[in-house]
């Protein structure tokens, strides 16, 4: 009875569920998906503030291509999550955390965009693809993209 050899085949991962390598990849993608919208919003809000001095829901709605109530509800979640502050009927501000995330997203967006352009892609397609790809690029990949774009 000493030791145990293979009481249960395996039982040591502190992971949830089996942790098939493939499953881990999918879980990572799902995790990334959960943050996509917040990332796009704070990035856009930072940009609006930079360009117009303020971020109004109506402009967010126009740029995002959604309706005003959709923006309102999303802003509610962002506020709940500590990324923005807002007062009723006023424009939106980023918290320190929101600003940090925005900065990060802007840099990442710019690197992905420059990378695609340096590959020879046309600007419109590059912008569209970058908008989706940016949320699924690891730090490591981002570094490779940056290096490639620089040494293009």
- Nearest CA to 42 out of 11, 20, 63 is that of 63
Please list every residue from 35 through 54 that binds DNA, using CB under 7 A.
Answer: 36-38
Q: Which of 109, 112, 116, 145 binds Mn ion (CB under 5 A)?
A: 109
* 144 contact choice in a second copy, Mn ion, DNA, none (CB below 5 to 8 Å, kind-dependent): a second copy
Q: In the beta sheet, which residues pair with residue 94?
A: 84
If binding means CB under 7 A, how many residues of this protein chain bind DNA?
24
- Nearest CA to 95 out of 66, 75, 73 is that of 75
If binding means CB under 8 A, how many residues of this protein chain bind a second copy?
46
4 burial type by CB count under 10 A (0-12 exposed, 13-18 middle, 19+ buried): exposed
Residues forming contacts to a second copy in the complex (CB under 8 A) are 17-30, 32-33, 36, 40, 62-66, 116, 119-122, 124-129, 131-133, 135-138, 140-141, 144-145, 148
């Amino acid at each position: 009875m000493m030791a145990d050899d293979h009481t249960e085949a395996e039982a040591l991962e502190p992971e949830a569920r089996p942790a098939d390598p493939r499953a881990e990849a999918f879980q990572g993608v799902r995790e990334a998906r959960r943050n996509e919208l917040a990332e796009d919003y704070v990035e856009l809000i930072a940009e609006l503030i930079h360009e117009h001095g303020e971020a109004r829901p109506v402009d967010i709605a126009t740029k995002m291509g959604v309706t005003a109530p959709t923006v309102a509800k999303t802003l509610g979640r962002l506020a709940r999550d500590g990324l923005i502050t807002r007062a009723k009927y006023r424009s939106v501000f980023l918290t320190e955390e929101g600003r940090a995330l925005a900065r990060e997203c802007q840099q990442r967006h710019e690197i992905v965009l420059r990378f695609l352009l340096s590959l020879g892609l046309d600007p419109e397609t590059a912008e569209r693809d970058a908008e989706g790809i940016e949320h699924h690029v690891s730090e490591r990949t981002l570094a490779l993209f940056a290096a490639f774009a620089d040494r293009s």
